[in-house]
Structure 1
Amino acid sequence: MSDASVLTQRDGPVLTVTLNQPDRRNPISDPAMVDALCAVFDQADRDISVHVAILTGAGSAFSSGGDLNAMRPDAGGLRAGMPAQTRRNYRAGIQRLPLLFQAIELPVIAAVNGPAIGAGMDLSLMCDVRIAGQSARFAESFVKLGLVSGDGGAWLLPRIVGFSKAAQLSLTGETIDAAEALRIGLVSDVVPDEDLMATARQQADAIAANPPHATRMTKRLLRAAQTAELSHILEMAGAMQALAHATADHDEAINAFFDRRPPTFKGD
């Protein structure tokens, strides 16, 4: 699928999704971008033959976040004349993204190829794994515009880097480089820019090599564990394990182990 806002490329079980407004540094606040991202990831989540997705940006930026031009009072963007309408605009617009990324079972890798600023940083936080090129920069910069994160950053960031560091980044709005992002656990790897997509693909292939039902249920369990009590997670894990034991891929894994051969998983 391709449109003016988002490009997709399917290679076997791996789907690459590219934010495609490089001249504007890939803002994600536009309704067209939100609609395109929601449509792509919802469709991919429904297709069990897609095992993993990579999300990146075209051009020199991952995403600049919100479009400042659209924040002017008369621009007709998220900001409306009535505060109540602005609230509704957020709920019907950009806030659909964190809810979708939290709900889907498809694993998503963010390949952060440049600045990820404001809502762009939050978009990377919505993904399950973040790999950064050396030129990547991150900023939870809303406070510098007299705003708060309207798309879930206050929920996402503390769960990734801890409350104190999340508070520091959010209250100062400072920009950090890829090395600092790695040090605080915001990203899992930093690689040379020219190796970013190859590294993301290697990670995607490692995920895609596993049975897709198991990887999707593992992601769902990890996401649920962010808010649920241990007893609830154990109940959920037991139910998922019952489903996993009934898959042909599980039987194939066991048989391949005893046969001393590589398994062949078919998503059954």
Structure 2
Amino acid sequence: MSEAPFMIVERKGPVVIATLNRPDTRNAITEIAYSEEIAEFCASMTRDLTVRAIVLTGAGSAFCAGGNVHHMAERKGMFAGAPFALRNTYRTGIQMIPTALYELEVPVVAAVNGPAVGAGLDLACMCDIRIASSRARFAESFVKLGIVPGDGGAWLLPRIIGMARASLLTLTGDMIDAATALDYGLVAEVVPPEEVLPRAIEIAEAIAANPGHATRLAKRLLREGQDMKLAPLLELSAAYQALAHHTFDHGEAVAAFLESRDPVYRDE
């Protein structure tokens, strides 16, 4: 019998809830197939214009424990092979995830229900908004295993919490609690454990209440703006705005506002 999917995907209107489903390994990302599954999920979400927001969470007690340390010790799975082969495994395996999530224009809310460690922290950083359980813990712990962030953490983390704190977490590998993560700006909110998924869904639904084309383009502007000067960003903004003005849903939003009624969007 084939292994169950790594992700459980549920639909709630325009909101999709994706759950990493390996609670026995604390949702560790250990197989290339897992990375492929996440990448394909992102591609399918991009194709489906009726999806307006995504919630990403983990089954069981952890959000994601990163790589499987037992597999590292045994040099098996994604950690097998000589240096050149291992480098290629990273490039064609787990590095598909940051690329796929970066290119995904649908807003993603991470419901960090428990520890997010190593690649698990980086996965949370790939999301647009992070809501943490008070039981969540965070660590950029690669150096404690004698390795480095291999999936984009060195690019992601400084952009979220600044170079000084990113350096502190990356070079010590130390764990921080949810309150510290909130203080650092790593997460937007900290809530009781039983509220983390409902709160993430609530935020996703608030996003999904807006026209999907607008939130997708706005997310793209935020992403591109991280590496652009003001002038080219303004040019891109003008182009996106011209597209947005000529959508059905823009017209419907304006009409609903003027008529004091709820809009009915068609994702067009």
Identity of aligned residues (%): 52
Match of 2:55 in 1: 54
Q: Give the TM-score normalised by the residue count of structure 2.
A: 0.96
Q: What letter is aligned with 2:191?
A: V
* SS of alignment partner, residue 11 of structure 2: strand
Q: Which sections of structure 2, spanning at least 5 residues, go unmatched? A: none
Q: What letter is aligned with 1:92?
A: T
Partners of 1:85 and 1:17 in 2: CA distance: 31
1:8–1:18 contact (8 Å) kept in structure 2 = yes
* SS of alignment partner, residue 34 of structure 1: helix
Q: What letter is aligned with 2:228?
A: A
- How far has the Cα of 1:78 moved from its partner? 2.7
Q: Which sections of structure 1, spanning at least 5 residues, go unmatched? A: none
Match of 1:39 in 2: 40
Partners of 2:112 and 2:126 in 1: CA distance: 13
Partners of 1:228 and 1:68 in 2: CA distance: 38
2:75–2:81 contact (8 Å) kept in structure 1 = no
Give the CA RMSD over aligned residues.
Answer: 1.2
Partners of 2:211 and 2:232 in 1: CA distance: 24
1:107 correspondence with 2:103: no
Match of 1:230 in 2: 230
Q: How does 1:119-198 map to 2 (within 5 A)?
A: 119-198=119-198
Partners of 1:78 and 1:231 in 2: CA distance: 42
* Larger mean Cα displacement after TM superposition, 26-35 or 143-152: 26-35
* SS of alignment partner, residue 110 of structure 1: strand
- How far has the Cα of 1:171 moved from its partner? 0.6
Q: Give the TM-score normalised by the residue count of structure 1.
A: 0.96
Q: For residues 32-76 of structure 1, give each alpha carbon's deviation from its aligned partner in whole angstroms, at most 9, with x where no partner exists.
A: 21121111121111100111110000000001000112213x533
* Larger mean Cα displacement after TM superposition, 227-236 or 111-120: 227-236
Q: What letter is aligned with 1:24?
A: T
Q: What letter is aligned with 1:174?
A: D
Partners of 2:132 and 2:242 in 1: CA distance: 37
1:29–1:93 contact (8 Å) kept in structure 2 = no
* SS of alignment partner, residue 78 of structure 1: helix
1:211–1:267 contact (8 Å) kept in structure 2 = yes
Partners of 2:172 and 2:199 in 1: CA distance: 32
- How far has the Cα of 1:97 moved from its partner? 0.5
2:107–2:219 contact (8 Å) kept in structure 1 = yes
2:32–2:78 contact (8 Å) kept in structure 1 = no
Q: What letter is aligned with 2:222?
A: L
Partners of 1:41 and 1:3 in 2: CA distance: 19
Match of 2:116 in 1: 116
Q: What letter is aligned with 1:51?
A: R
- How far has the Cα of 1:257 moved from its partner? 1.8
Partners of 1:258 and 1:79 in 2: CA distance: 59
